[in-house]
A and B are shown apart, each in its own frame.
Chain A
């Protein structure tokens, strides 16, 4: 297990290094440089600024400085907002995104497992048909449309109620988190429900379930001990990709609901071509996603011994 973990972590570090390098050389391949702006610079000012930002050094040297800084966790300063370090931006905005993401994951995971188990137990009866219809809807409607529709419904709800039942946007109290987290987790929940349903159908009528039933084990105990615990394994394997989906899905949900998270900031930085912020957040997000997937795989290895044997 330790050897497997070490191998995965080394591969993960190589991936992050590649992401950092691709970001660095990609950004340097963009025509012009961050100093090419609206303001005309005299050669002297330009040279001074280049010296200040280290842009006068050869590319290889810049690359080494950049890698060294990243290894120390320093992502540099924003070009469009002077005096703001990328680290500060991440420190300030990432907790918001993370809170939203964790809520969405919890909602998607719990919802997906329960709905999926329920549909399998009521196979081809009305709860199954109704839930699967909603699931297909959740898979087919893009998250930004869901976000817009839910916001529109909230506006109407608040209007008919004559007050604020739930806020339509912004960030602050727990109530601000409810709708965005539901919207963000919805497509993942739909996906997990489908997965859980098919994996539950495989264990619903296995021999050990039949034996337990013959021994007179109560139905609730069969469900929680024998069926759910075995069926839940495949759901855990896709949690890694699900976290990635929710993280990137957060970009649009944060924009629509005006949530001051890192995702919205990242999209803004892209639209303003704020190079250091794009580089910093890309590397940060990349490392986050890569290690999340590894973490999920390692947890899965702890739960299911067969994975360890395979490796």
Chain B
């Protein structure tokens, strides 16, 4: 062991270079930290963007797309998105005089001689065939008939060799099938099918009435016009889908956002009072909450709707909102009570009390801010279930009353014509799914960002 020469200078204090008390970075508050974590989560941020876009769609949307959602466009009933909107001007309807017609003669390829008498329009489709002794039965279908029994809608049993179809004609392709009936009135094997493309026509008077041409404007027969534009098509009553999606979204999101806000708020008050008072009061309050939880939620929602009903001219939104608030507050109440009971025992609460803090101060400064994260996450997760509840009730006809659109009610209407016009179901269904998805993902992100214990557990 060698001795080291030490001088007096080795024991002098070093000059102070930087203050150890000074923080190198600004301190982050809980909320700033949570926001930083949330921003780093691309899934949560994109769902937040989606939610903002949906909110803009239902609030700003109706100002941009100013079509009235309750106006029926009778020329455009149940059309698909981006459908053809050409219309040809024609003369007013002239009654047909088929008696003057000479019936066509049957040929080998067409034993019944089934032909189109005049060009097919939405005014009328006029068909004729060879005159024979036995009667004929005429069918119409939107799909190509594959075998017997799939000819579609039976239009008439006829003794005459002609028929004029004016039944709800749309500018689509129709398959008309003529079946020869035998002496007993049974269908025989002899059939003929015509594929007919119907063109949309409108008379000048109708076009003027609908504002397609001005009264003083000159118009000729055969001229083509353009009907009103429906970017997402129309529903079964000819109402604009885009406008209905916007107004329906207002109803769905109004219930979906306001109901959770209201019942979580009620639950927070109830739960914090119970948790703070403790003892027998707490026990009694929580037994009551347990009781409400045990009630079957959807059954009571239905019962509530049946009992309070919907008067004429009412939309049924408020009874639904009230029922949700009355039935759903206990879950957040239990959650907040648990949190309050936990926080009440924390050392910082005792320290605060020791320093002379009053009860309102302790509650406002320590207890509520510490439960706020949990409350926020709860609200976010309750939004999708509230939207689902609204959609479910509207779907079974217990939700908002018919003239008022809501996404669930629109699905209910759309499902009836799912095979021929799938867009009536798909658009509102997509809106519901997108909203629910966005709130679920945002809820996941918020839980990760706000709740330290849950972090990384996903």
* A→B interface (CB under 8 Å): 11-12, 14-15, 18-19, 22-23, 26-27, 29-31, 136-137, 139-142, 144-145, 148, 151-152, 155, 198, 201-202, 244, 248, 251-252, 255-256, 267, 270-271, 273, 278, 282, 285-286, 289-290, 293
Question: Does any Cβ of A come within 8 Å of B429's Cβ?
Answer: yes
Question: Interface with A: B131-139, B349-357, B361-369, B389-397, which one?
Answer: B389-397
Question: Nearest Cβ in chain A — how far from B22, in angstroms?
Answer: 40
CB distance from B164 to the nearest CB of A (A): 32
B42 vs chain A, min Cβ distance (A): 14
Of A139, A244, A270, which is within 8 A of B398 by CB?
A270
Taking CB atoms, residues of chain A closer than 8 Å to B395 are 142, 144, 252
Decide if the interface of chain A is mainly helix, strand, loop or mixed. helix
Chain A residue numbers with a CB within 8 Å of B306 are: 26-27, 30, 270, 273, 278
Q: Is the CB of B436 within 8 A of A140?
A: yes
- Pick from A140, A152, A290 the residue with the most CB of B within 10 Å: A140
14 further interface pairs, Cβ-Cβ under 8 Å (given A141-B429, A270-B396): A22-B303, A29-B307, A139-B436, A142-B436, A144-B391, A144-B415, A155-B419, A244-B296, A244-B297, A248-B296, A248-B392, A252-B395, A267-B396, A289-B296
User: What is the CA–CA distance of A267 and B393 in the complex, to the nearest angstrom?
Assistant: 10
B417 to chain A, nearest CB (A): 11
CB distance from B41 to the nearest CB of A (A): 15
Q: CB-nearest residue of chain B relative to A287?
A: B296
- Chain A's closest residue to B435 (CB) is A140
Q: Which of A145, A152, A289 contacts B433 (CB 8 A)?
A: A145
The answer to whether B20 has its CB under 8 Å from any CB of chain A is: no
Chain A nearest CB, measured from B412 CB (Å): 8
With A30-B306, A136-B437 in contact, do A290 and B294 touch (Cβ < 8 Å)?
Answer: yes
Distance between B402 CB and nearest chain A CB, rounded to angstroms: 13
Residues of B within 8 Å of A14, CB to CB, are 291
As a 0/1 sequence over residues 418 to 438 of chain B, the CB contacts with chain A under 8 angstroms (1 = contact) are: 110010010001001110110
Asked if B303 and A198 sit within 8 Å, CB to CB, the answer is: no
Least CB distance, A280 to chain B, in whole angstroms: 12
By a CB distance below 8 angstroms, the chain B residues around A271 are 397
Cβ of A244: which chain B residues have Cβ within 8 Å of it? 296-297
Least Cβ–Cβ distance between A160 and chain B, in angstroms: 13
Q: Is the interface of B mostly helix, strand, loop or mixed?
A: helix
Q: Which residues from chain A contact B415 at a C-beta distance below 8 Å? A: 144, 148, 256
The answer to whether B457 touches A19 (Cβ under 8 A) is no
Interface residues on B, range: 35 or more
* B411–A144 touching, CB < 8 Å: yes
B458 closest partner in A (C-beta): A198
CB-based nearest B residue for A266: B302
**Which residues of chain B have a CB within 8 Å of any CB of chain A?**
290-291, 294-300, 302-304, 306-307, 309, 384, 388, 391-392, 395-398, 408, 411-412, 415, 418-419, 422, 425, 429, 432-434, 436-437, 440-441, 457-458
Tell me if A140 and B307 are in contact (CB < 8 A): no
21 A-B Cβ contacts within 8 A?
A11-B291, A15-B291, A15-B295, A27-B306, A139-B440, A141-B436, A142-B388, A142-B395, A142-B408, A144-B412, A145-B411, A145-B432, A148-B411, A148-B415, A152-B419, A152-B422, A201-B457, A202-B457, A248-B299, A270-B306, A278-B306
Does the CB pair A252–B425 fall under 8 Å?
A: no
**A15 to B304 Cα, complex, angstroms:** 17
A19 CB contacts on chain B under 8 angstroms? 295-296, 299
B142 to chain A, nearest CB (A): 14
Would A140 and B418 count as touching, CB distance under 8 A? no
Q: A201 to chain B: which residues have CB within 8 Å? A: 457
Q: How far is the CA of A144 from the CA of B407 in the complex (A)?
A: 12
What residues of chain A lie closer than 8 Å to B309, measured between beta carbons?
Answer: 30-31
Residues of B within 8 A of A144 (CB): 391-392, 395, 411-412, 415
Residue among A144, A151, A155, A201 having the largest count of chain B Cβ atoms under 10 Å: A144
> Chain A residues with Cβ under 8 A from B458's Cβ?
198
State how many angstroms separate the Cβ of B360 from the closest Cβ of chain A: 33
Q: Are B296 and A286 in contact (CB under 8 A)?
A: yes
In the complex formed, the residue of A with least CB distance to B387 is A142
Give chain A nearest CB distance to B178 CB in angstroms. 25
Q: Which residues of B contact A11 (CB under 8 A)?
A: 290-291, 294
Q: Which residues of B contact A251 (CB under 8 A)?
A: 396
Cα–Cα, bound, A31→B311 (Å): 11
CB contacts (< 8 Å) of B419 on chain A: these are 152, 155
A142 B391 Cβ-Cβ under 8 A: yes
Contact B307 A26 (CB under 8 A): yes
Closest 7 pairs between A and B when the two form their complex, measured CB to CB: A140-B437, A26-B307, A145-B429, A248-B298, A289-B296, A140-B436, A140-B433
B418 touches A15 (CB 8 A): no
Structural contact, B295 and A142, CB atoms closer than 8 A: no
Rounded to whole angstroms, the CA-CA distance of A11 and B294 in the bound complex is: 9
Q: Which residues of the partner chain B approach A30 to less than 8 Å between Cβ atoms? A: 306-307, 309
A142 and B429 contacting across the interface, CB-CB below 8 Å: yes
A136 contacts across to B, CB distance below 8 A: 437, 440-441
Contact of A140 with B440 in the complex, beta carbons under 8 Å: yes
Complex Cα–Cα for A155 and B143 (A) = 14
Once the chains are docked, how many angstroms separate the CA of A15 from the CA of B300? 13
**Nearest Cβ distance between residue A163 and chain B, in whole angstroms?**
12
